[in-house]
Chains A and B, each alone.
Chain A
């Protein structure tokens, strides 16, 4: 076992405390029985969790975000799997350009993408529509799936596929029976990380969504811009707990550190 200097260990736990502090704070405040932001130590209750259920706009925004995230992640996966296989298994002129283009949404600030898409959709007469939001989220999360698919496909031994081919399997059979099963963990991890990124996305959606198509982060942001109340804390705590559950699923599937490395 390597010995780590005690000063560094103290630093490590201070760092961990810094990372946890705002999340713990949100969770604590959500249990207050007061009408304003306060600690729950002199009166705790479920009041603000029960209050969520009466907030139709938040509940609707939550469902909208879940559907949007699942749709965008699925569409992005359908686009990224063939593209990822082409990039991982073939050398062809223009390969680097195509890879760069498909990863480019990672490089463009979301606020810039947001206003560009707002102008674009307005000219198409589609601003604030759900399909516009879905298309925007699909290209935004495509790079996350693509990277995990390319990583999974690159680490895989092509002689297996060649063996299947030489035994008479058609290319469709090779894909379905040999190639796809081997990259499934990458695809599944990619889908989940794409879903999380779509679900959390705020800055681009603020410009693309309209009052009728507000996602949960947009709704929360607009609420915070007016007032910070314990309702936001209880909604946030629900999101923190859901994220923890997703993290456990991701860890089971794929290894949390590998998925997080794809988050950059």
Chain B
């Protein structure tokens, strides 16, 4: 490890820093300022600073519904990902070498496949003529197709599929630090499977659940392709509304204001969740 007053590390980092400043930081500042200008139909962006776009969002019921839906959806997706991702990571950590290799390809491999491809798969599965409905009808459980395309439920199912690998990975990482002897000790003292999971394993993987949950929540709230394809026009969320404002209505200032509020809410939720969990489970973060 080298320390001191050498300028070398700065020279090494400069090209990357300049690129990131030019193509991330500067555009974000420009977007923030764009949200403070009025939109004049037929003309474009007006000239005088205003908070009209934010006022419109605060006033209009239409945007309240969209924000509530987006964050309700993100919260539900996060809860489901925790509920199924944590046990899956646990099983993954206990599989034999060979089965684990196969399972990693199946469970985590889809992360490398385009979201458009995976969402297309769900669109085919969930349609009124889709496989799930054919099976349900054939089994006699329902008499007419259950509507899943263009519904909240459909978007949640597809988003869980897209995002649950992030949860499995995060929890798996913290399981690898776990000492297997504690589980065996609990088992030998007569604890059942459920008790071992609830009292021994779960508290120790809280940091993994937290970081996985924050990633899933942020990605679910800002997901575009899945809500756009499965939810469609009738089930708008904030990212699809931004898309419509930008490329449909050409109201760029309002779209920029929506984006600013989206980022602020995601950040606020992440920071407060972090504080809350760290206070509640102080001992595992030490």
Contact = CB atoms under 8 A, between A and B. Distances in A.
Contacts of A49: none
Nearest to A2: B94
A247 B22 CA distance: 33
Contact of A202 (B2, B16, B17, B225): B225
Interface string A1-28: 1101101110110011011111111100
Nearest to B173: A261
Given A91-B2, A123-B30, A243-B113, A102 B16 contact: yes
Interface string A188-204: 00000000100110110
22 contacts: A19-B110, A22-B122, A22-B125, A23-B117, A26-B120, A79-B16, A86-B13, A89-B2, A90-B3, A95-B9, A108-B28, A109-B239, A112-B28, A119-B30, A119-B252, A139-B23, A202-B224, A224-B229, A228-B123, A257-B108, A261-B169, A261-B173
A11 B24 contact: no
A260 B111 contact: yes
Contacts of B166: 264
Interface in A22-43: 22-26, 29, 37, 39
Contacts of A110: 222, 224
Contacts of A128: none
A107 B24 CA distance: 11
Contact of B94 (A4, A196, A202): A4
B231 to A, nearest CB: 12
Interface in A162-210: 196, 199-200, 202-203, 206-207
B161 to A, nearest CB: 7
B106 interface: yes
Contacts of A94: 10
B1 A109 contact: no
- Classify chain B's interface size: 35 or more
Interface stretch (B47-55, B60-68, B84-92, B276-284): B84-92
Interface of B: 1-3, 6, 8-13, 15-17, 19-28, 30-31, 34, 84, 87-88, 90-92, 94-96, 101, 103-125, 127, 129, 131, 158, 161, 164-166, 169-170, 173, 180, 193, 215, 218, 221-222, 224-225, 228-229, 239, 242-243, 246-247, 252, 255-256, 259, 262-263, 266
A102 B228 contact: no
A105 B125 CA distance: 33
Contacts of A202: 114-116, 224-225
Contacts of B114: 199-200, 202, 217, 220, 236, 239
Interface in A232-247: 232-233, 236, 239-240, 243-244, 246-247
A15 B88 contact: yes
B86 to A, nearest CB: 11
Question: Which of B101, B112, B221 is the most central at the interface, judged by chain A CB atoms within 10 Å of its CB?
Answer: B112
B57 to A, nearest CB: 16
Contacts of A68: none
Contact of A21 (B30, B111, B125): B125
A109 B263 contact: yes
A70 to B, nearest CB: 16
A86 B8 contact: yes
Contacts of B22: 135
A112 B31 contact: yes
Contacts of B2: 89-91
A102 B123 contact: no
A146 to B, nearest CB: 8
A7 B113 contact: no
Given A82-B13, A220-B116, A261-B173, A11 B91 contact: yes
A80 B218 CA distance: 25
Contacts of A152: none
B44 to A, nearest CB: 10
Question: Which of B9, B125, B218, B242 is the most central at the interface, judged by chain A CB atoms within 10 Å of its CB?
Answer: B9
A238 B25 CA distance: 37
A217 B116 contact: yes
